[in-house]
């Protein structure tokens, strides 16, 4: 459960204060298998980071890079005694640019790659990853269809899990009633809605919002009235961040006063003014920046010494990808660090001690982890995604 406000200090500031005490002594315990050393460096290991520096996913890419770089900074830019040569390539905004960036990393003989912000890119590069036999640790949501891939690991989540987590929560409540479904007709939304429907069957038909370059409240009137006409007790929406506030404004102006639930990505890393405009929204995510555990206290404190924003789930997923690679490199011992060997050792890393809470890979190479319920509401003097409690363990 979340910390309450104490003596006028908001929970994030409180966590940061706790983390500042003895932070250096805790950094070595953030991964069950990651180690640090003061010995002379061993061989250099070359890793790749595939993140967008341009386009619609630029903000997500920035968070992924922040998380991975933070792990390196906190471990002396080494992993298990090996200096790290990190090569960053711009994923761009299209399948073509992402595919080209992947090839550029593979041509530079990296032994593992982390990143991928575009949810449509991973399925398109699946075969190229499998052919190269260079492991990819995808640090953003991905389709369940990746489960048969041998060299693709997911350190974030499977796209149906936000919906599953909400569905399980609503099923646990007495007399929830009908759930209205509305969202953009993209692959992520379809997966998320399918996940909700697999756990909670009393839903309306899906109402699709048409893509638009500049979302405004008036553009959603027809879709909002259609979903309200099916008399839902609560609403589940899956929309890009730029759609969120106009959609909620349209919903309220058309008489919709239902509680609204959404995948956590829709409100992750939103600036405080936009969060305030989305007040009351409930989101399901596998991380909350105010989780009160030792790893998150250290991680949050270190993150906020470098960046003006609170850490995000995107940053944590990339941070944990680095921890997994550190653990796999440690398990290689004195043997040569190769792509094949890293891929063989990743399943042996075991439990990752993470800011999100401890997790480990399941047989489908995705995290078995807790999901959390958050709500947009004031946290001290700022609007934030405030932790409400646990939803479910999935994976």
56-61 own/partner pairs: CB under 8 Å, 24+ apart: 56/93, 56/240, 57/91, 57/93, 57/117, 57/118, 59/269, 60/117, 60/140, 60/269, 60/314, 61/91, 61/115, 61/117
Q: What is the pLDDT of residue 20?
A: 38
Cβ atoms 223, 211 nearer than 8 A: no
> Do 379 and 11 meet the contact criterion of CB atoms below 8 Å apart?
yes
Question: DSSP label at 142?
Answer: B
The pLDDT value given to residue 5: 37
Q: What is the C-alpha to C-alpha distance for residues 56 and 67, in angstroms, rounded to an integer?
A: 19
Whether pTM exceeds 0.85? yes
User: What is the Cα–Cα distance from 267 to 146, expressed in whole angstroms?
Assistant: 26
Q: What pLDDT shows up at residue 381?
A: 85
Predicted local confidence at residue 40, as pLDDT? 60
CB 374 within 8 A of CB 264: yes
Instruction: Please list the ranges in the chain whose pLDDT falls under 50.
Output: 1-37
Q: 260: which 2 tokens? A: 């609204």
pLDDT of residue 21: 34
The answer for residues whose C-beta is within 8 angstroms of residue 383's C-beta and 6 or more apart is: 272, 273, 275, 276, 279, 376, 377
Across the chain, which distance is largest between two alpha carbons, in Å? 68
């Amino acid at each position: 459960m979340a910390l309450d406000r104490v003596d006028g200090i908001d929970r994030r500031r409180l966590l940061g204060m706790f983390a500042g005490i003895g932070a250096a002594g805790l950094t070595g315990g953030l991964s069950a298998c990651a180690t640090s050393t003061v010995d002379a460096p061993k061989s250099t290991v070359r890793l790749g980071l595939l993140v967008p520096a341009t386009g619609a996913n630029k903000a997500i890419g920035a968070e992924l890079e922040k998380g991975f770089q933070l792990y390196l900074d906190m471990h002396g830019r080494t992993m298990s005694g090996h200096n790290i040569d990190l090569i960053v390539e711009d994923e761009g905004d299209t399948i073509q640019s992402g595919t080209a960036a992947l090839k550029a990393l593979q041509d530079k003989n990296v032994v593992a790659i982390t990143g991928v912000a575009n949810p449509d890119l991973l399925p398109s590069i699946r075969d190229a990853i499998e052919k190269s036999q260079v492991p990819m640790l995808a640090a953003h949501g991905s389709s369940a269809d990746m489960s048969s891939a041998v060299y693709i690991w997911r350190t974030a989540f499977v796209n149906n899990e936000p919906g599953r987590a909400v569905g399980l929560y609503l099923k646990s409540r007495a007399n929830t009633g009908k759930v209205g479904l509305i969202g953009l007709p993209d692959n992520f939304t379809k997966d998320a809605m399918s996940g909700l429907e697999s756990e909670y069957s009393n839903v309306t038909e899906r109402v699709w919002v048409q893509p638009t370059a500049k979302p405004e409240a008036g553009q959603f009137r027809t879709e909002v009235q259609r979903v309200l006409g099916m008399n839902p007790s609560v609403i589940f929406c899956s929309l890009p961040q730029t759609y969120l506030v106009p959609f909620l404004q349209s919903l309220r102006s058309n008489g919709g006063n239902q509680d609204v639930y959404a995948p956590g990505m829709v409100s992750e890393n939103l600036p405080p003014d936009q969060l305030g405009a989305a007040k009351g929204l409930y989101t399901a995510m596998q991380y909350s920046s105010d989780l009160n555990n030792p790893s998150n206290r250290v991680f949050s404190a270190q993150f906020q010494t470098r960046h003006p924003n609170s850490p995000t789930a995107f940053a944590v997923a990339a941070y944990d990808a680095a921890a997994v690679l550190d653990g796999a490199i440690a398990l290689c011992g004195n043997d040569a660090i190769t792509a094949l060997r890293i891929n063989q050792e990743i399943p042996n890393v075991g439990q990752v001690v993470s800011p999100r809470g401890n997790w480990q890979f399941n047989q489908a190479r995705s995290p078995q982890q807790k999901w959390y319920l958050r709500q947009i509401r004031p946290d001290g003097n700022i609007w934030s995604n405030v932790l409400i409690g646990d939803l479910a363990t999935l994976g």
